[in-house]
Amino acid sequence: MNRLNDVTKGIWEKNPILVLGIGLCPTLAVTTSVSNALWMTLATSFVLIGSNILVSLIKNFVPSHIRIAIFITIIASFVTIVELTLKGFQPEVYKSLGIFIPLIVVNCIILGRAEEFASKNTVFRSILDAIGMGLGFGLTLTVLAFFRETLGANKLFGYTLIPGMKPALAMILAPGAFFTLGLMLWAMNAIKSRKKDKANGN
Residues that bind other proteins (CB under 8 A): 32-33, 61-63, 65-66, 69-70, 73-74, 76-77, 80-81, 84-85, 87-89, 91, 98-99, 152-153, 155-163, 167, 169, 172-173
Cβ of residue 104: shortest distance to other proteins, in angstroms? 15
In terms of phi and psi (left: phi > 0; alpha: psi -120 to 50; beta: otherwise), the region of 154 is left
CA-CA-CA-CA torsion sign (23, 79, 176, 156)? negative
Amino acid present at 173:
L
The amino acid that residue 75 corresponds to is I
Q: Which residue number, 21 or 91, has a Cβ lying nearer to other proteins?
A: 91
Least Å from the CB of residue 3 to other proteins: 30
CA distance 60 to 83: 29
Question: What does the alpha-carbon distance between residue 43 and residue 25 come to, in Å, rounded to a whole number?
Answer: 15
The C-alpha angle with vertex 126 and arms to 50 and 3, in degrees rounded to 5, equals 140
* Nearest to 16, CA basis, from 182, 145, 143, 130: 130
